[in-house]
Structure 1
Amino acid sequence: MSYRRPALPKSGAVAMVLGLAVALGLNGCFTERRNEGAQLYASHCANCHGEQGQGLKRLIPPVAASDYVAQHRADLPCLIRKGMRGVVVVNGVEYNQVMPGHDDLTDSQIANLLNFVQQNWGNKNQAYTIHEASELLGHCNGSDGQ
């Protein structure tokens, strides 16, 4: 005697397939974005600020355990977008180098990049939302709305 599972109504089968497809699609989406901040840091920041955020002696400031990162939260999105020139003091040390801007990054990528820095290497700062990053980028005409 063979067991035969009762057939699902067409609408139930379609809903189950769609639900599975959405779940798999969302899982892939979140998986790709999960490490985006680390990947963006590695490709856009690590060459100057170091793989572990340590900076470069008295030339390039650290982002690891950085008082500047903690104290200039509202300025950081525009700093990433527009860059920076002039004197900056980080952990009591004065730096005066040009930091290039990254207008190739979306608002959400800037939020993810900053969240990576905010939560690593001794930094324990509040995460940015994409909305907050976009709003702060508006202060320097740097928001792309993405």
Structure 2
Amino acid sequence: MPRRSLPFAVLALLALPGCFSNNRHQGERLYVQHCASCHGDQGQGLERLIPPLAGSDYLTDHRGELPCLLRNGQNAVIVVNGIGYHNVMPSNKGLSPAQLTNLLNYIESHWGNEAAPRTIHDVEKQLEGCR
């Protein structure tokens, strides 16, 4: 590389990180902000009042419904790991599809959950089916 091109190459490399958003930890931040106060820091839930997310069969069995559940909330009985829960879950209508994707990817990859990562496109398609 010629000597005069070197400063331009260095500047380009320094500017490169600014071209991308840093959403790597957004899912965790959203979980802490919107979910942890009820579902717990480790997704453990609260006895028979609030269902656990950690090792939850509900996350696997209802994967296609989860974006709508997060967006619209819930006020129906659900069964998680064989236990029935009936408590109101508030909606998160202010979260974008990208934020919902990051939040779900965080929940579904922690505390013993091992779902395949979601894409924003997948979540947007699932949100189209929300009532």
User: Residue type matched to 1:49 in 2?
Assistant: H
Count of aligned residue pairs for this structure pair = 130
* Per-residue Cα deviation, 1:13-59 (whole angstroms, up to 9, x for no partner): 65x266324423146x23xx111101100000001111100001101
2-side partners of 1:94 and 1:24: how far apart?
47
User: Residue type matched to 1:81 in 2?
Assistant: R
CA RMSD of aligned residues (A): 1.8
TM-score, normalised by the number of residues in structure 1:
0.82
% same residue: 46
Specify which of 65, 90, 94 is matched with residue 80 of structure 2: 90
2-side partners of 1:58 and 1:115: how far apart?
25
Between 1 and 2, higher relative CO (CA 8 Å, sep ≥ 6) is seen in 2
Secondary structure of the 2:47 match is coil
Unaligned runs of 5+ residues in structure 1 are: 1-5, 142-146
TM-score, normalised by the number of residues in structure 2:
0.91
Unaligned runs of 5+ residues in structure 2 are: none
1:120 equivalent in structure 2: 110
1-side partners of 2:71 and 2:90: how far apart?
9
1:106 equivalent in structure 2: 96
